[in-house]
A and B are shown apart, each in its own frame.
Chain A
Amino acid sequence: MDDALAQLEEFVESTRAVVHEIAVTTTAALATTPQPRRADLVEIEPLIARILGEREETVHGGGFVAAPGLLEDAPWWLEWFAWDAGAVQRLVSETDPSGATFFDYTYMPWYSGPRDRTPARALTGPYVDYLCTDDYTLTVTEAVRRQDGSFAGVAGVDVRIFAVEERLLVTLRDSGRVLVLVNELGRVTVSATAQLLSGDLVEDLDIPAMFEAGDERLTRIAGSELGLLDLGPR
């Protein structure tokens, strides 16, 4: 149990550190001009390429998602890069609101979470990421603010669930307990039991209420939206 917790905390903290690095770079880029344009974000790409290179086994994509109206030449914009066919590629997405596949990302929890909550960050998922990877994903995001304190968007990275699972599965299995990593909505993120699989909802326990009440069977990971649920001995 302790091994699993330590491993998970390390995972969350180190992923947040990477996201923070993207946020810092973006904040600095935005500070250079009163009316930023897409071209002002040019430093994000090499940074993401470096991060994806260093953390290839877990981090699948990352970048900055601009608040609507932030950029003068692109009212909606995702400066986002991901592994695709062995290379770091720019995410191509519809950013014209009248376009057929335009998608209002301000509703997405990875965007609205950091915008609306304190601390201004979110760990979203697992979910099928149809904006970018089409894969089962966790997204870690942090708010980016302008010098005047106004919300400018979110910096973030995508992590493949299967990469998280690979690192964690043996630890969970060998813990001697039935341990299940769940999110605040009760969705299983990683488990080492066939009765509850990644993507399932835990049905017989009210997980949101357990998070709320600080139930002793559930340990929140580094203040995030994930918790390790202990269902007793194996």
Chain B
Amino acid sequence: MYGGAAAAVFAPLDTLSRAEQVERRLTDAIVLGLIPADEQLPGEAELARLLGVSTMTVREALRALREADLIETRRGRHGGSFVKESRGIALQRIVARLLEMSTAQLRDLGDQYAALSGAAARLAARRATSVEVARLRRAHAEIVAASTEGARRRAESHLQIEIASVAQSPLLFRAEVGMQAELGPLLWLGAGHEEVLLHTAGLAGDVVEAIANGDGDKARALSEDRVVRWTAHLVELRLQGLETPRG
């Protein structure tokens, strides 16, 4: 069913309202397309085990997702919770989350992610073999070939994951997966815009070629630049969402 980066969606949660966290995690996964429409979610007991929460908590979160029209519950032998085709609704929720954040918070998250992806790109340039370069080029080709905004976001996410894995550092890799799980929906909201995508897709090709040439400094600078542009677009979206005060 789900694997790789998506597995982070089902990683154990920390404190605060657990049902809300489960709800947010699953909302993020649906928006990101990690769990596509029509996909069946694991059963309540299985979800509870994967997320490390009680089945009561899972039930509460699923109820909220159902009310938000993100999933539907089918009865019968092949019954269970299924993801509904509801990207639009899910996206609104992510935008709502964006509007709750300060520009300073967004900048800070961008800084952290830029540092992470820059460091991973630099190490990848030093440690990539020809086999891995070929894999990175395939991941870049996915970005170029992607025909929908969702497909492009997923392809961008995939390339980031590949670069982190080529860096040969399990800790950096887990940090990348962790950041994508936490931040992914916001990040790809910033990356998903047509204009930003066209530009950063070009940059992605340059990052891959810098890694192929073993030019770590260039790979790092370009990789950071990609994240800076995504963040800048997120801040713009955040500012557009501000209501003008009356009077």
Known: A93-B1, A94-B6, A185-B131. A130 touches B168 (CB 8 A): no
Q: Which residues of B contact A99 (CB under 8 A)?
A: 36, 39
| Complex: chain B residue closest to A186, CB-CB | B129
In contact, A103 and B126 (Cβ under 8 angstroms): no
Report whether over half of chain B's contact residues are helix, strand or loop; otherwise say mixed. helix
- The A/B interface has a contact count, at CB < 8 Å, of 80
Please provide the chain B residues from 112 to 166 with a CB less than 8 Å away from any CB of chain A in the complex: 126-127, 129-131, 135, 138, 154, 161, 164-165
The reply on B193 being an interface residue by CB < 8 A is no
Contact residues in A for B4 (Cβ distance below 8 Å): 93-94, 101, 103, 130-131
Chain B residues, Cβ within 8 Å of A199: 127, 168-169
Q: Which residues of A contact B33 (CB under 8 A)?
A: 100
**Looking at chain A, what size class is its interface with the partner chain?**
20 to 34
A101–B173 CB distance below 8 A: no
* Contact size range, B: 20 to 34
Query: Using Cβ atoms and an 8 Å threshold, which residues of chain A touch B174?
Result: 134
Which label, helix, strand, loop or mixed, suits the secondary structure of the A interface?
loop
Q: With CB as the reference atom, state the residue of chain A lying closest to B151.
A: A100
> If A130-B161, A134-B173 touch, does A94 touch B2 (CB 8 Å cutoff)?
yes
Over the window 45-71 of chain A, the binary record of Cβ atoms lying under 8 Å from chain B Cβ atoms (1 yes, 0 no) is: 000000000000000000000000000
Q: Establish whether residues A128 and B170, one from each chain, have CB atoms under 8 Å apart when the complex forms.
A: yes
Q: Are A134 and B34 within 8 A (Cβ)?
A: no
B6–A100 CB distance below 8 A: yes
Closest Cβ of chain B to A122, distance in Å, is 12
Q: Within 8 Å CB of A126, what residues of B?
A: 168
Is B187 engaged at the interface, CB distance under 8 Å to the other chain?
no
Binding site for B on A (CB under 8 A): 91-96, 98-101, 103, 107, 109, 126-128, 130-131, 134-136, 185-187, 199-201
Please list the 3 inter-chain residue pairs (A to B) with the smallest Cβ-Cβ separation, ordered nearest first: A93-B3, A199-B168, A128-B165
